[in-house]
Structure 1
């Protein structure tokens, strides 16, 4: 009797997943809570192009899908000190780079070397002394990525314009050498097939927030 009840419960849960996500996503129904736009953490950075903001949140949906992505290390552990990149090399347990280690950290899973290179170019608050490190605080993670994505010389492409033209998959392909879970790299995951759908939902959020911020009533309160 107890076994039958367990089977019934499993069947009901499976039916609910199919009902909410449809047959195309039924195998991933248990991930629904985590990748709903309302559950993908907002950016700490204020302002900016809503198309690029939505892209940044989409990248983190695949790379650092966590309630606190800015403190996330590869593998799921969190750090508290963001005065600099954590620079901890954590063993990779599966995938094409198994048996190596990675220093990926933060919302955008920056490697130590990538962070050092991009922070030197895009960080808005460089350290005062040459022996100091660039702050890895959440707002700076966002700002470095935002400036990088909006620099056409970095990608040989105008990413904001491509997004406005609806060429989202083309953008994912451009970025996949850097963020390898975007669908054209070597480390796709269970979220990868849904990234364009996630992007469109996040874009609607960001556009609505941008319009609210620009409304006359809001400006009158400032």
Structure 2
């Protein structure tokens, strides 16, 4: 989570582009029942329209492991849901298993972002930041969850490499390893879950869907 004023211009261009990619509408998943795989679980489409199909496929792969639910944008760590997404829920739920057992987690939404991570990334990537300078509460609505994560994953300076280029080269394993410190269910022994082993298969399935969507 590197920060520097030198990155602001590059990051700003990504955020401006997202203003055209984000389309305010009801989630497509509510209109289509065809996103459940009997083996891989829930693989709903993104609410955000447009963008690089490789990054979009990666986002759906991350959420398949992190949330895996038909309504992923409202889910909290532990499985509860919230209705108010005007800002990050900031509900700290006790962790009952794994290396962080006994602590609590504020992970929420499709990408299970902690409140601190959301605040940091929203400050940089949110396409519609609030107008107040001294107190800002960034909308956590589905389209903005997608937009912030899309911009973050697209920012080569944030990760020290071009993730989209790596994906085009077929280096999914390298990408998942890079992201595993942020999303610990992506593998490499941190907090694997039942979906971890299926992530390469999920990614390929999502990529084919996303490529087909753009023709």
Bigger Rg, which one: 1
Partner of 2:59: 56
Query: Which residue of the other structure, out of 204, 209, 221, is the alignment partner of 2:208?
Result: 204
Name the TM-score, length of structure 2 as normaliser.
0.81
Please say if 1:187 is aligned against 2:186. no
2:158 and 2:188 map into 1 onto residues whose CA distance is 18
- Counterparts of 1:1-222 in structure 2 under 5 Å? 33=38, 35=40, 39-130=42-133, 131-184=135-188, 186-211=190-215
Unpaired stretches in structure 2, ≥5 consecutive residues: 1-35
CA contact (8 A) 2:46 2:146 kept: yes
Name the TM-score, length of structure 1 as normaliser.
0.78
Deviation at residue 186 of structure 1 after TM alignment? 1.1
Question: CA 1:129 to 1:119, structure 2 compared with 1: closer, same or farther past 3 Å?
Answer: same
What secondary structure is seen at the aligned counterpart in 1 of 2:205? helix
How many residues matched? 179
Q: Which has the higher helix share?
A: 1
Deviation string for 1:187-222 (max 9, x for gaps)? 0001101101110011000000111xxxxxxxxxxx
Greater relative contact order, per chain length (Cα 8 Å cut-off, separation 6+): 2
